Chains A and B, each alone.
Chain A
Amino acid sequence: MSRGLRGSLVAVGLVAALTTTGCVGSAPSEAGASGDTIKVGVLHSLSGTMAISEVTVRDAELLAIEEINAKGGVLGKKLEPVVEDGASDWPTFAEKAQKLISQDKVATVFGGWTSASRKAMLPVFERNKALLWYPVQYEGLESSPYIFYTGATTNQQIVPGLDYLKEQGKKSVFLVGSDYVFPRTANKIIKAYAAANGMEIVGEEYTPLGHTEYSTVVNKLQQAKPDAVFNTLNGDSNVAFFKSLRGAGITAETMPTVSVSVAEEEVAGIGPDNIAGHLVAWNYYQTTTGATNDAFVAAFKATYGANKVTSDPMEAGYNAVKLWAAAAEKAGTVEVEPVKAAAKGIALDLPEGTVTIDGENQHVFKTARIGLVQPDGQIKEVWSSGAPIKPDPYLKGYDWAAGLS
């Protein structure tokens, strides 16, 4: 009968031990800027479903930090990355963000991939008046004063993709997406665009994240016979989707797809044979021309292996580190408010071209690029907006988008 007693004593002992160790472990650490180094947080999913994508972004960010350190650091101090695992779990992102801010006292955090992780971290950064650099294209309709968005917003990726389809004379479009926030919001925007531009949406299908059975969706595509497919599937699902498409005999000539979440990394996973000839919309490709990109690609391969590819989110993560460092140098401090003020209008020559921070909404100017997947797994640019497009997260400059936000 005294089993209850012993069990309870176990609990008491455990909690006591944890309280004391927690206390020891949490001895106030040095502030980000004191000492010889400046701590910066790197917060991506290193485990779970998103790890496969986010690890590459972490690598690119660490590369940028190394490069900055090799040139003497920021304000004469070396950067010290504090890496945390968001574990593909949104509350964990919030927890780790809080840990980086209050425990490690980092000067800034680079992190996130899914919109869900960003939405989870947003209140943490706003509450602590700390800074997050978010490196992935997303669905827009957001502009937090404590987040810098170095990926594309909708008017820099999805809208140009639609413009391109319109230009090519595609009249009917089928929407295929993973069932979560980005595809649903993106498709809402696409439908508004289509309504205003005389395009017809002939179908809209969502599958759960990680779904791998696409014969039903492909059947529906064969019945609807759209001129093009707009694909917002994420992750592994793309592999199954493109294999099913090919298996059903649908080719890029008869029914091209435009994908907004398939970059070089994913093309390798899908198999270039399965997706060659289809279109993607991004702001950067490994093949983007320019000396800065050549240097970036070479440095990445030198650090992580010759068979590695570089992709748009990786480049945006790399840019985020470089942009923050430039802003800190300009501000003369790593304090959040001065850095934010200094970041306005900063323009750097980065792999995708000249990147300028728009002070108004803390997004960046980006050149839209439509690419064609090549049989060797690389992506060839077939269309570009020419000049960087001003970010417009709320699509205020588009009459057809009036009802969206």
Chain B
Amino acid sequence: MTHSKSFVGTTTSFFLLAGLLLLAAPALLPAFRLELLAKWLCYAIVAVGIHLAWGRGGMLTLGQGVFFGLGGYAMGMHLKLTDAGPGQLPDFMVWSGVETLPALWAPFRNPAFALAMVVVLPTVVAILLGTLVFRQRVRGAYFAVLSQALAAAFVILLVGQQGLTGGTNGLTNVQFFFGLDLYDPAQKRIVYYLVVGALGLVFLAAWQLSRSRLGRLLVAIRDGEDRVRFLGYDPAVVKTVVYAVSAATAGIAGALFVPVVGILGPADLGVVPSLEMLVAVAIGGRFSLGGAIGGAVLYNYASTGLSETFPSGWTYLQGAMFIAVMLWAPRGLAGLFSSGWSWIGGFRERRFPGSGGLSSTPASLPEPKAASASAPAQATSSTTSSASEPAPASGPAPSSARGEVPA
């Protein structure tokens, strides 16, 4: 019953969103704004991965930029080689005095290889890191610090190898994308549709994953890792798999970012951009797939909008926004919206008892008091779950996990 309603709801909003992005936005927005929207949607794809790892799995991943970068560089290297033409070197190698194509670059001439690497590279790195870290039962802040250190190290590596990576400049001036001339607004539009398509696929995949046995197990691990272990599951495997999926998602986003923006450099994937990806998800609501996507779009929209209006002081406003959301809506805007919805639902329940489809499932629609009480409880349980002790009696486990852990 609840299942089918959620299914209908998500499907409806999925098609609404698709219609908006595929029909309304291209019709209403000028080319420059559409390009920006495409860039924000790239971050929305990353947000889907963060929602899985952090929102569902409780893995505070502060280094998504690394995976974003790996996917992006794999794509960028291929595009730079195609731009340069057969037998020629990419422009930055010429400036850096490199005379022969480095062996690392050669295979990226092959488009199939490059496309495969977009997913393979981030996945492999995530599996390696995940296996090392989660086997050792490293969690919470320690995992967060490790993933952040990875981002810092990655940037140092990229900057230091100027001849190989373009250094601080990164890969710039990408003009062609598999035959599309990115300098031509009409052809660039196709890239926008590609990004929307990718977001749609990633959305569906993440939704499916959340509804699967693996997804339920993941939430159970988030809320009580040791309990799940006692039940005979290996949390390390589940977490590694999900971490790898979120890494691959970021890789795809990075690969699309290159043709959308035309530049990819260390500035897009270091510690600060990685944090920004996470902050956006926190603002939108990390527990909700839609919230994460909305958060990514909203955060980047706000950055652009605020900086255009207040070029000298916009960072303060942006910071204030983040603090406000964290203070008054720790579950993000989606959480705030959801509480409001429950309140309206409860109100209707009281005025028209027994009427309306919304009140037909009492379990999913608690009284307003209960709803507002369970919200902080849930937030607490997910934060404490990052500590080594399972959260004892911190209210009922989130409904999606309750009673649905496979025995």
Contacts and interface: CB of A to CB of B under 8 A. Distances in A.
Given A2-B2, A116-B170, A185-B96, A15 B338 contact: no
Interface string A250-291: 000000000000000000000000000000000000000000
A7 interface: yes
Given A2-B2, A116-B265, A10 B337 contact: yes
Given A6-B288, A22-B37, A94-B261, A85 B337 contact: no
A362 B297 CA distance: 40
A1 B362 CA distance: 11
A404 B20 contact: no
Interface residues of B, number: 79
B265 A90 contact: yes
Contact of A1 (B2, B30, B263, B314): B2
B290 interface: yes
A47 B319 CA distance: 13
Interface string A3-44: 111111111111110111011011010000000000000000
B131 interface: no
Interface in B31-84: 31-33, 35-37, 39
B338 A84 contact: no
A5 to B, nearest CB: 3
Contacts of A344: none
A141 interface: yes
A309 interface: no
A185 B288 contact: no
B100 interface: no
Contacts of A4: 6, 9-10, 207, 288-290
Contacts, number: 222
A181 B266 CA distance: 13
B262 interface: yes
Given A116-B267, A123-B172, A9 B13 contact: yes
Interface string B160-178: 1010000111101101000
A181 B13 contact: no
A6 B337 contact: yes
B154 interface: no
A103 B263 contact: no
Given A8-B10, A22-B33, A114 B168 contact: yes
Contacts of B159: 179-180, 208
Interface stretch (B104-112, B134-142, B230-238, B305-313): B305-313
Nearest to B26: A19
B80 to A, nearest CB: 13
A184 B162 contact: yes
Interface in B112-166: 156, 159-160, 162
A188 interface: yes
Nearest to B41: A15
Given A85-B314, A114-B168, A8 B14 contact: yes
Contacts of B334: 3, 6-7, 10
A47 B294 CA distance: 26
Contacts of A103: 32
Contacts of A2: 2, 5-6, 9, 364-365
B193 interface: no
A134 to B, nearest CB: 14
B97 A188 contact: yes
Chain B facing A: main interface SS: helix
B25 interface: yes
Given A94-B262, A94-B263, A8 B24 contact: no
Contacts of B28: 19-20, 22-23
B3 interface: yes
A176 to B, nearest CB: 16
A1 B400 contact: yes
A68 interface: no
Nearest to A140: B95
Nearest to A139: B95
B181 to A, nearest CB: 10
A172 to B, nearest CB: 23
B307 A85 contact: yes
B311 A85 contact: yes
Nearest to B31: A102
B346 interface: no
Given A15-B17, A116-B265, A181 B29 contact: no
Nearest to B314: A85
Given A115-B169, A119-B173, A7 B33 contact: no
B341 A19 contact: no
Contact of A12 (B29, B32, B290, B304): B290
A129 to B, nearest CB: 11
A184 B173 CA distance: 20
A2, A28, A90, A405 — which one has the most chain B CB atoms within 10 A of its CB? A2
10 contacts: A4-B289, A4-B290, A5-B5, A8-B13, A18-B301, A20-B28, A92-B307, A123-B172, A127-B183, A180-B168
A-B residue pairs, 3 tightest by C-beta: A7-B288, A5-B9, A8-B13
Interface of B: 2-3, 5-6, 8-10, 12-14, 16-17, 20-21, 24-25, 28-33, 35-37, 39, 94-97, 156, 159-160, 162, 167-170, 172-173, 175, 183, 207, 261-263, 265, 267-268, 284-285, 287-291, 293-294, 297-298, 301, 304-305, 307-308, 311-312, 314-315, 333-334, 337-338, 341, 361, 364-365, 399-400
Given A87-B315, A180-B159, 12 more contacts: A5-B9, A8-B289, A8-B290, A11-B297, A12-B13, A22-B29, A23-B29, A88-B267, A95-B39, A99-B32, A181-B168, A208-B159
